A and B are shown apart, each in its own frame.
Chain A
Amino acid sequence: MNAEAIIEKINTDIKDKVQEVSLAAPLRINVKVARAQLLAVLQYLKDQFGFTHLATISGVDLGESFEVLYHMASSLATVNVRILTPRRDPKIPSVCTVIPGAILYERELQDMFGLVVENIPDPRPLLLADDWPAGEYPLRKDWHFNRPAEIIPGGK
């Protein structure tokens, strides 16, 4: 089965659940879905085509909203499942029930973008320091690093 056949099958089977399906490049399928349909679409991809491997989850700050991409890979092709979540209410569902290996990527998203992953099995911070101030999310575009003034002990 090639990428075109996968797109055709998605279009016939779950047309009501996806907003947009396109072939971005050879072996790269872009699928845009609503937040509420994410789990159903990932489950469908897993059952129908065997997309069991989640390569990673990428977050992108678009200003008014966040874009979250689930890169599903298999020997057939790579499907980038894309959802949008508004900045005011940055909630995304946890996909750990479908893909247990997603846990570290979801924790990373919580740390770096301040997304709220609903029903996440383990919500602890992953990468940021223990004394990292609450409410600061470094990969958001409006976050800038301000280097603290260097204090030399005993210096002038």
Chain B
Amino acid sequence: MEFKVSLGPQHPALHEPISLRMTLDGEIIRDADLKLGYNHRGIEKLAESRTFIQNLYLTERICGICSFSHQTCYTQGVEKLMELVPPRRGLYIRTLVCELERVHSHLLWLGVAGQEAGFESFFMYTWRDREVVMDILDIISGNRVHYAMNTFGGVRRDIDEIQRKRILDSLDLLKSRTEYYLHIGASEPTFVGRLAGVGKLSKERAIALCAVGPTLRASGVPMDVRKDDPYAVYDEIPFEVCTTDSCDVLGRTVVRVKELLESYKIIEFLLKNLPAGPIKVKAPRKVKENEVFSRYEAPRGENVHYIKSNGSDKPERLKVRAPTLANYPATIEMLKNGFIADIPLIFAAIDPCICCAERLVQLDNPRSGKSQVLSFSQLRHMANQRYKNVNFKKKESLWPF
């Protein structure tokens, strides 16, 4: 007998609306289905009626965490359409903000993972340190969330010697803290025990389902747009692509912590080798008829924008694919044969309050579409019947690990 339990779209534990329907066999998830669209704002349609420069600020508002990723991906695409080459100092500052954003996003994620794993002090530590990065971003751009740093042909704000020194000082603090987190992640037995083996995604399935970012790299695939298709000044910067072969949530955590350490190296390199000169060049208003496919390595993975221009000052088409959409098919794969209690870890942002989500249980066969509503007393009776006849030896083979 299968139970179908739905979570969301409106749920106190969900940070954003998404509907998740799981087919359960006891505690084990047999099948999962996602329903999206609760947060669809029609940005692609809206972009067609706005000018290129207006879209610069629209694309920034696609996401609140990786706002700079979308804006940079769009800006780099339009710069190629305009045949603009930004000055090197502009590109260095742009790359600097890219990496600072990666640091703040990964620290945020670590905190959420710690909280979902029941390691509250880890959450407190990483979010305290995240403030350091937010302050750096505040120093550079004057904003904490939407930096508004990009413009066609470079960046909008320069950094001076005092800012450079302050960023380097803060970086030393962050580096020592992150090394401590790597130490905790590798040696704290309860934390490792909670994360290891959860949300398995094999290398073959990760490639087949087109997963991106740390999810893919934790399954042992060294795909990183910064190396494969270098943009900005990544071809000049020495850095390594971090991978692990453990294919689980622990691996994804380790990849992110290692990426933090790589990001600090990149930021240090950028600040120590910052070239002198202008930060932007003048951009035209109208864009020739052409098309461009722009890729960017956001903190969550590969972010792509496809931009088609028609000779006017407005784009003919702007297609955005955020990394999370690419990771949904892989998430369903990870949920399968896992426990209900692992959903928050796998989703990393969903609280496992499933018992309070439903008062009435709907039994459903997802393939045939048949459903029936049962009261709890009937359900209890059915459950008792089932456990009377259960064959425990046979059940052991169904245990996920």
Contacts and interface: CB of A to CB of B under 8 A. Distances in A.
A128 B37 contact: yes
B370 interface: no
A91 interface: no
Interface residues of A, number: 36
Contacts of A104: 325, 328-329
Nearest to B319: A58
B360 to A, nearest CB: 20
Interface stretch (B93-101, B129-137, B207-215, B338-346): B207-215
Interface stretch (B165-173, B180-188, B301-309, B391-399): B301-309
Contact of B306 (A27, A53, A71, A138): A71
Contacts of B326: 55-56, 101
Per DSSP, are chain B's interface residues mostly helix, strand or loop, or mixed?
A: mixed
B37 A60 contact: no
A69 B292 CA distance: 12
A17 interface: no
Per DSSP, are chain A's interface residues mostly helix, strand or loop, or mixed?
A: mixed
B36 A56 contact: no
B228 A75 contact: yes
A101 B209 contact: yes
A80 interface: yes
Contacts of A129: 37
Interface string A67-104: 00101011100101000000000000000000111111
B211 A101 contact: yes
A108 to B, nearest CB: 8
Contacts of B42: 138, 145
11 contacts: A56-B319, A56-B326, A58-B306, A59-B319, A71-B304, A74-B228, A99-B208, A100-B329, A101-B209, A103-B329, A105-B321
Interface of A: 24-25, 27-28, 52-56, 58-61, 69, 71, 73-75, 78, 80, 99-105, 112, 125-129, 138-139, 145
